[in-house]
């Protein structure tokens, strides 16, 4: 005691808080002092933590309570009733003087206690200087607090278990396990809230099954279910519950149950057809009928006989259960009732006259929706909580209801109106989970995303428009259409059910009961309304035979399958016998669109892997550019430097690269950078993940040389190591404090402008950690990415990159309308081969700068223009596009401009010419007029060569990777091709570009003829036979080129059009027809330098492939001549 007193005198720091003997618990200095003693780094509660804040709140409450109690007890000083402890020995020694302290079953060793215990006086300043009675007061409070937190958590545990037991499925547990034990396939049918998704996996685990896979249609569900199941089982299984989605996996050897997407399980079947790693498969939500889900069921049905030990559990809402049970040979069904509160349905069809009076039918009339808001305000007092969920068909519709509802909300102050659709940023989507202030309701205006994907608690009212917009696929036009449909009865019920999750609800339907009865019973399964290219490709690579005869759950339309097969053949993924080609085999393993896959493969040939990986990844995710309801000029200005004049894919490339730069330069700055540009950063993260996956895939397939790990010096290695360790720590700390707390919404929340909310996604900002950034840096080699992003493309590389893109995208080409130069910027229209009058998507760079597509001659072409044909130019351009989307109008999405003539010569599947090749028709829809016949021939000839060389190298590359001997490509050949392509693109030739009319198409070809005129001609190419084309007429020169088959002026000229010409190689000078000239040039082309000399030396001995029989009519002799030799010979006979 003595030493303590002394200490107090010497210690200068005792807080100002209790100077003058007045002890003030609320003084920060006092609290800091106590925290130093009790909340040290090694203590149960740490200073400054959330826990310590909660403690002080508790402390204040406890003090108030105790002072009240003290007053009361002073008043009624009752003698403590004496108990009788004598009875049982175990009860001896119980204190008879009651003290609440005896009720607490734990104790705390604090700083000062330890000091006293150990008798240590080392650090003087740590001596408390706090009066003993205060210390014990604090200690008592601390114990009470700990006891309180224990009780709190224990109550949660009891509640959790009660809730689990209360789930409808619980009563079916034994029945289910029995069914699974006795059958290979079991169907569990149960509606929302029955608990099947969370409980069935746990039942199976508890029953001793392991190696369980549970498929989900959505990635997000995989994560949340794994978390939920881990939590409900109180982490009993630890890391035995995991999930696996495209880029993330928490799977480990200990994993007993994994939640994964249907697509991912299909990929696993592709690798290991018998799925040896699993004992039980649970396919959840099969009633949603996603493409992958339907296909997976088909694949599993085939697999089951080969794996009699494998169990399959199908889980479905109570929709069309017979279909599933029947498909698996009458599998038993365990039917579980759902748990919904009663819901009142109010049919409120929009009156005919009101619908007719809507002057702008393309804009949704918000009045019927406002009436429901008013009705709710009228009928239900604001204290009765309950939010409203409105289902609309699309984003535009959401916009008009949102606007009207917000005006109403500002007026009444009783609503917070929030939009919900998939193109919103994550942060905005997250707002729908926040709480409205008291007396205010949330009104969530949503697409059908809230029907199944997003579940919002607290919804009491549902307002259903009865409409949905769905992509429907037109196999003929190979076009995706976003069309509005009436929903199905099943969807209507699903929407209604959202009102009855937490209590009785009301569902307003803006259609009549008779409409409802007329709805289709179920939604159209995805397999019947989407493009099936990827599906067919995957089926081929799984060896499932002819997709037309595959026993699908419900077969897709035959036309869709045919289109898919034809498309894959066109794209070179299937051969004539519908077998997989080498490139097709590779494409089947890339989880992307065929077109994107092709671009990846093509790019690796020209060492463009870096930019091509980025492009392919960026084109495979949703555009990072958000479209605000109202245009924001600042944002547009900030985006401008990223825009590429070449087209949207390159804008995406710039954007990604710039983003990587920002990330590597200032940590965490990228989030702000994105926000300023109106971009959703999440999609760039996705692109980065996808890029990495592509990179690994290309590496695995030998299409990308493994970059030899650059030898780092030990210092760099160490610092990288240290950096990673710090990042890991950051992530761990984030995970520990994870769990976004629900915020309270402000009244004006949903209004424009709140998008730029500084909070960003989640509440991480306050803690200063950008967890996405941390994960990004852990997952990727940022240095490598930055190096790839930092090197600017040379103009040659850019040209080649565009060419690669165009080849991949072909035949997705559009031609500008002839009259575009006279149209307003926004009215520019385009045509594809099958579809006319398409407009640019508003996000497209050419929509803002249409002049980039105008045909303007460089330099003064004035003089020439006078005597030239109209429309003659060397700069016609086409748009290659990534997709065609039809909403209210057809849109071209992600466009790239390319030189028309060169692109068509290099990529057309069919190229038809007239006699002197001044007229060329590409794929029977675009006509090129090249007045300069010589130039036309020159280009055509080199196009033929380049195509052959390119195709050859590509095949070598793809086949080489299959064989054991990885035959590297000859770099000289690649360089020659590269050079050739670049020169080809630099040609400036004047030409016209014309889209054939229907009438012109009808009379395009001369048709089959019996003319023998060309028989005497020497072979046009080495080894290429000139065969009369039996359909078009003229002669087939290569598989894409048909010479002299165009009807019109052609055949009149064919023989008399000889003109004098000097061969640049052999200096031969004589009259040639265009064809003869082509023929000569091809055979005379110096193929010398590269060829090894011994081959040249050996050539005269045996007849080379170039030689063919030639009979000279003048000297009456037969020869074996090459084309050149023929010409030389003829020259001898003047």
Partner 1 sequence: MESHKEAQLKGVFECHLCGLTAPYSYYGQKPPNTRSVVLLEESYVMKDPFTPDKDKFLILGSQCSLCNRRVCVGTECSLFYCKRFCLPCINENLQAFPLEIRQDLDKKKSHSKSHPSKNADART
CA atoms within 13 A on the CB side of 1085: 17
Query: Tokens for 594?
Result: 């065929």
Say how many Å lie between the first and final Cα of the chain, rounded. 133
Is the CB of residue 189 less than 8 Å from the CB of residue 333? yes
Which of 16, 120, 124, 156 binds partner 1 (CB under 8 A)? It is 156
As given in the structure block, the two tokens for residue 599 are: 């671009």
Cβ closest to partner 1, residue 85 vs residue 790: 85
Residue choice 53, 68, 166, 518 for contact with partner 1 (CB under 8 A): 166
Smallest distance, partner 1 to C-beta of residue 166, A: 4
Select from 658, 682, 686 the least CA-distant residue to 671. 682
Cβ pair 138, 25 in contact under 8 A: no
Burial readout 784-797 (b: 16 or more C-beta within 10 A, e: otherwise): ebbebbeeebeeeb
Q: Please identify, using beta-carbon distances, which residue of 230 and 523 lies nearer to partner 1.
A: 230
Q: Which of residues 1013-1032 bind partner 1 (CB under 8 A)?
A: none
Among 158, 220, 716, 744, binds partner 1 (CB under 8 A): 158
Of the two residues 150 and 707, which places its CB atom closer to partner 1 in the complex? 150
Helix (H) / strand (E) containing 581: none
Q: Which is nearer to partner 1, 97 or 1118 (CB)?
A: 97
Binds partner 1 (CB under 8 A): choice among 16, 57, 68, 85: 85
Q: Where are the alpha helices (DSSP H) in 554-593?
A: 558-570, 582-589
Q: Is 136 in the site for partner 1 (CB under 8 A)?
A: no
Nearest distance from C-beta of residue 744 to partner 1, angstroms: 22
Q: Looking at 154-162, 188-196, 688-696, 859-867, which segment touches partner 1 (CB under 8 A)? A: 154-162
Q: Which is nearer to partner 1, 105 or 706 (CB)?
A: 105
Question: Torsions phi, psi of 542, nearest 5?
Answer: -90, 0
CB 771 within 8 A of CB 731: yes
505 token code pair: 């609800």
Interface with partner 1 by CB under 8 A: which range of 103-111, 967-975, 1000-1008, 1092-1100?
Answer: 103-111
Specify the stretch interacting with partner 1 by CB under 8 A; choose among 263-271, 492-500, 645-653, 732-740. Answer: 732-740
| Least gap, CB of 499 to partner 1 (angstroms) | 22
**Which listed residue (28, 95, 669, 952) binds partner 1 by CB under 8 A?**
95
- The CA distance from 265 to 251, in Å, is 14
Options 87, 356, 1056, 1097; binder of partner 1; rule CB under 8 A:
87
Is residue 737 a contact residue for partner 1 (CB under 8 A)? yes
1044 class by beta-carbon count within 10 Å (0-12 exposed, 13-18 middle, 19+ buried): buried
State yes or no: residue 274 binds partner 1 (CB under 8 A).
no
> Residue ranges of the alpha helices (H) in 413-479?
426-430, 449-452
The CB-of-458 to partner 1 minimum distance in angstroms stands at 21
Q: Does 805 bind partner 1 (CB under 8 A)?
A: no
Distance CA 1112, CA 945 (A): 29
Selection from 881, 833, 882 nearest residue 853 by Cα: 881
Cα 622 to Cα 423: distance, rounded to the nearest angstrom: 8
Beta-bridge mates of residue 213: 258, 281
- Of residues 3, 74, 105, 476, which one binds partner 1 by CB under 8 A? 105
Helix extents (H) in 677-813: 681-700, 714-736, 764-767, 771-779, 782-790, 795-809
From 157-165, 576-584, 633-641, 1121-1129, give the range in contact with partner 1 by CB under 8 A: 157-165
Contact call for residue 153 and partner 1 (CB under 8 A): yes
36 contributes a contact to partner 1 by CB under 8 A: no
162 sits near partner 1 (criterion: CB under 8 A):
yes
90 binds partner 1 (CB under 8 A): yes
Burial of 28 (0-12, 13-18, 19+ CB in 10 A): exposed
Question: Closest distance between partner 1 and the C-beta of residue 71, in Å?
Answer: 18
At closest approach, how far in Å is the CB of 301 from partner 1? 38
Are 644 and 616 in contact, with CB atoms under 8 Å apart? no
157 near partner 1 (CB under 8 A) = yes
> What SS3 class is residue 1036?
strand
Q: How far is the CB of 257 from partner 1 (least distance, A)?
A: 16
CA distance 1115 to 1130: 10
Nearer to partner 1, 97 or 758 (CB): 97
Q: At 583, which helix (H) or strand (E)?
A: helix 582-589
CB of 143 to partner 1, least distance (A): 10
CA distance 984 to 980: 6
202 binds partner 1 (CB under 8 A): no
Nearer to partner 1, 169 or 896 (CB): 169
CB atoms within 10 A of CB 671: 18
Binding segment toward partner 1, per CB under 8 A, in 90-98, 622-630, 877-885, 1034-1042? 90-98
**CB of 86 vs partner 1, minimal distance in Å:** 8
Shortest approach of partner 1 to residue 111 CB, angstroms?
9
Among 74, 88, 549, 966, binds partner 1 (CB under 8 A): 88
Cis omega before residue 687 (within 30°)? Answer: no
For 770, residues 6+ apart whose C-beta sits below 8 A from its C-beta are 667, 668, 670, 671, 764
Among 81, 709, 860, 999, binds partner 1 (CB under 8 A): 81
Q: Which two tokens stand for residue 955?
A: 């095949």
90 or 381: CB nearest partner 1: 90
Q: Does 110 bind partner 1 (CB under 8 A)?
A: yes
Q: Which of residues 231-260 bind partner 1 (CB under 8 A)?
A: 231, 234-236, 238, 254
Out of 44, 341, 673, 1119, the only residue in the binding site for partner 1 (CB under 8 A) is: 44
Spatial distance between the Cα atoms of 191 and 501, rounded to a whole number of angstroms: 11
Alpha helix segments (H runs only) across 288-351: 291-303, 321-327
Task: Pick the stretch among 99-107, 717-725, 755-763, 1049-1057 that binds partner 1 (CB under 8 A).
Answer: 99-107
Closest approach, Cβ 239 to partner 1, in A, equals 9
80 binds partner 1 per the rule CB under 8 A: yes
For residue 768, the minimal CB distance to partner 1 (Å) is 18
Residue of the chain from 65, 102, 819, 1069 that contacts partner 1 (CB under 8 A): 102
Rule CB under 8 A: is residue 65 a binding residue for partner 1?
A: no
Task: Please report whether residue 1120 would count as binding partner 1 according to CB under 8 A.
Answer: no
203-232 residues near partner 1, rule: CB under 8 A: 231
Closer residue to partner 1 in complex, CB, 88/966: 88
User: Helix, strand, or coil here: 709?
Assistant: coil
Select the span of 155-163, 304-312, 496-504, 1049-1057 touching partner 1 (CB under 8 A).
Answer: 155-163
* Beta carbons of 80 and 96 less than 8 angstroms apart: yes
* Torsion sign across C-alpha atoms 791, 792, 798, 801: positive
Q: How far is the CB of 231 from partner 1 (least distance, A)?
A: 6
Which residues from 739-768 bind partner 1, rule CB under 8 A?
739
CA angle 820, 825, 828 (to 5 degrees): 40
Tell me the two tokens of residue 493: 């019920």
Is residue 91 part of the contact set for partner 1 (CB under 8 A)? Answer: yes
**Residue 6 is encoded by which pair of tokens?**
């002394």
Q: Which residue has 């699309």 as its token pair?
A: 394
Residues that bind partner 1 (CB under 8 A): 40, 42-44, 51, 80-81, 83-85, 87-88, 90-91, 93-98, 102-110, 146, 150, 153-154, 156-158, 161-163, 165-166, 231, 234-236, 238, 254, 735-739
């Amino acid at each position: 005691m003595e030493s303590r007193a002394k200490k107090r005198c010497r210690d200068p720091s005792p807080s100002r808080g209790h100077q003058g003997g007045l002890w003030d618990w609320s003084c920060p200095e006092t609290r800091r002092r106590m925290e130093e003693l009790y909340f040290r780094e090694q203590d149960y509660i740490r200073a400054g933590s959330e826990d310590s804040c909660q403690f002080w709140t508790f402390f204040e409450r406890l003090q108030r309570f105790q002072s009240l109690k003290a007053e009361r007890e002073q008043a009624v000083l009752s003698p403590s009733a004496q108990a009788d402890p004598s009875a049982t020995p175990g009860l001896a020694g119980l204190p008879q003087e009651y003290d609440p302290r005896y009720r607490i079953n734990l104790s705390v060793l604090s700083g000062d206690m330890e000091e006293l215990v150990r008798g240590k006086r080392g650090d003087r300043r740590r001596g408390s200087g706090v009066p003993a009675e205060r210390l014990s007061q604090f200690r008592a409070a601390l114990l009470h607090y700990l006891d309180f937190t224990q009780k709190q958590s224990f109550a949660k545990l009891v509640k959790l278990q009660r809730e689990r037991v209360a789930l409808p499925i619980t009563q079916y547990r034994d029945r289910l396990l029995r069914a699974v034990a006795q059958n290979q396939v079991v169907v569990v049918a149960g509606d929302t809230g029955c608990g099947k998704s969370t409980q069935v996996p746990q039942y199976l685990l508890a029953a001793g099954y392991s190696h369980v896979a549970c498929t989900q249609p959505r990635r997000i569900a995989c994560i949340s279910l794994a978390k939920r199941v881990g939590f409900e089982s109180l982490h009993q299984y630890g890391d035995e519950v995991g999930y696996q989605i495209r880029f993330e996996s928490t799977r480990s050897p200990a994993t007993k149950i994994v939640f994964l997407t249907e697509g991912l399980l299909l990929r696993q079947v592709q690798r290991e057809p018998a799925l040896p790693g699993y004992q039980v498969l649970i396919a959840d939500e099969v009633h949603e009928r996603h493409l992958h889900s339907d296909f997976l069921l088909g694949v599993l049905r085939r697999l089951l006989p080969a794996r009699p030990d494998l169990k399959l559990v199908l889980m479905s809402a109570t929709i069309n259960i017979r279909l599933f049970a029947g498909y698996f040979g009458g599998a038993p069904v365990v039917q579980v009732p759902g748990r919904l509160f009663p819901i009142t349905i109010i049919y409120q069809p929009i009156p005919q006259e009101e619908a007719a009076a809507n002057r702008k039918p393309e804009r949704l009339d918000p009045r019927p929706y406002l009436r429901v808001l008013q009705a709710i305000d009228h009928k239900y007092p604001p204290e009765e909580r309950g939010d409203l969920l409105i289902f609309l068909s699309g984003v535009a519709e959401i916009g008009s209801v949102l606007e009207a509802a917000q005006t109403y909300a500002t007026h009444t102050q009783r609503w917070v109106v929030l939009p919900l659709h998939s193109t919103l940023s994550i942060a905005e989507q997250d707002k729908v989970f926040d709480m409205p202030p008291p007396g205010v309701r949330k009104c969530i205006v949503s697409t059908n995303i809230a029907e199944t994907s997003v579940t919002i608690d607290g919804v009491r009212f549902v307002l259903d428009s009865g409409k949905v917009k769905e992509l429907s696929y037109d196999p003929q036009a190979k076009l995706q259409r976003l069309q509005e449909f009436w929903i199905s009865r099943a969807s209507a019920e699903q929407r209604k059910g959202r009102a009855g999750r937490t209590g009785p609800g009301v569902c307003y339907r803006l259609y009549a009961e008779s409409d409802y009865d007329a709805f289709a019973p179920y939604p159209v399964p995805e397999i019947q309304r989407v493009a099936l290219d990827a599906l067919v490709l995957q089926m081929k690579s799984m060896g499932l035979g002819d997709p037309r005869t595959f026993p699908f759950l419900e077969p897709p339309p035959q036309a869709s399958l045919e289109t898919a097969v034809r498309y894959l053949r066109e794209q070179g993924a299937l051969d004539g016998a519908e077998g997989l080609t080498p490139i097709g085999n590779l494409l089947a393993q890339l989880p992307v669109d065929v077109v994107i896959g092709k671009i990846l493969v093509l790019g690796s040939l020209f060492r463009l892997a870096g930019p091509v990986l980025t492009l392919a990844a960026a084109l495979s995710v949703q555009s990072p550019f958000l479209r605000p309801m109202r245009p924001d000029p600042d944002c547009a200005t900030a985006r401008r430097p990223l825009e590429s004049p070449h087209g949207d894919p390159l804008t995406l490339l710039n954007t990604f690269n710039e983003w990587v730069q920002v990330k590597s330069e200032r940590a965490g700055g990228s989030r702000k950078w994105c926000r300023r540009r109106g971009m959703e950063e999440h999609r760039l993260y996705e692109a980065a993940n996808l890029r990495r996956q592509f990179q690994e895939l290309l590496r695995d397939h030998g299409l990308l040389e493994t970059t030899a790990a650059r030898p780092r010096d030990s210092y760099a290695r160490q610092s990288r190591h240290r950096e990673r360790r710090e990042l890991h720590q950051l992530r761990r700390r984030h995970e520990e404090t994870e769990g976004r707390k629900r915020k309270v919404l402000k009244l004006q929340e949903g209004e424009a402008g709140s998008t730029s909310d500084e909070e960003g996604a989640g509440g991480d900002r306050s803690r200063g950690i950008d967890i996405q950034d941390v994960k990004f840096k852990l997952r990727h080699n940022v240095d490598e990415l930055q190096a790839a992003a930092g090197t600017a493309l040379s103009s040659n590389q850019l040209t080649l990159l565009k060419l690669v893109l165009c080849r991949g995208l072909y035949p997705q080409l559009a031609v500008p309308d002839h009259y575009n130069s006279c149209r307003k910027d926004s009215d520019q229209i385009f045509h594809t081969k099958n579809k006319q009058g398409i407009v640019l998507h508003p996000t497209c760079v050419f929509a803002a700068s249409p002049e980039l597509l105008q045909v303007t001659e460089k330099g003064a072409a004035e003089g020439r223009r006078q005597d030239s044909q109209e429309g003659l130019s060397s700069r016609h351009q086409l748009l290659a596009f990534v997709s065609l989307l039809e909403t209210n109008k057809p849109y071209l999405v992600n466009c790239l401009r390319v030189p028309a003539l060169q692109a068509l010569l290099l990529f057309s599947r069919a190229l038809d010419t007239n006699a002197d090749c001044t007229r060329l028709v590409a794929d029977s829809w675009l006509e090129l007029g090249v007045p300069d016949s010589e130039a036309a021939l020159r280009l055509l000839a080199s196009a033929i060569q380049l195509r052959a060389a390119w195709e050859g190298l590509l095949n070598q590359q793809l086949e080489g990777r299959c064989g054991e001997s990885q035959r590297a490509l000859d770099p000289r050949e690649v360089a020659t091709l590269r050079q050739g392509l670049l020169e080809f693109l630099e040609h400036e030739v004047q030409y016209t570009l014309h889209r054939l009319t229907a009438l012109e198409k009808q009379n395009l070809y001369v048709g089959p003829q019996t003319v023998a005129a060309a028989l005497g001609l020497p072979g046009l190419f080495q080894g290429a036979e000139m065969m009369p084309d039996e359909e078009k007429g003229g002669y087939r020169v290569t598989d894409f080129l048909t010479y002299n088959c165009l009807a019109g002026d052609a055949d009149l000229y064919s023989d008399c059009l000889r003109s004098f010409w000097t061969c640049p190689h052999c200096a031969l000078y004589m009259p040639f027809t265009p064809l003869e000239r082509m023929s000569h040039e091809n055979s005379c082309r110096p193929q010398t330098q590269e060829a090894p000399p011994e081959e040249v030396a050996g050539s005269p001995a045996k007849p080379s492939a170039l030689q063919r029989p030639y009979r000279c009519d003048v000297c009456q002799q037969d020869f074996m001549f090459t084309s050149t030799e023929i010409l030389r010979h003829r020259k001898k006979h003047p």
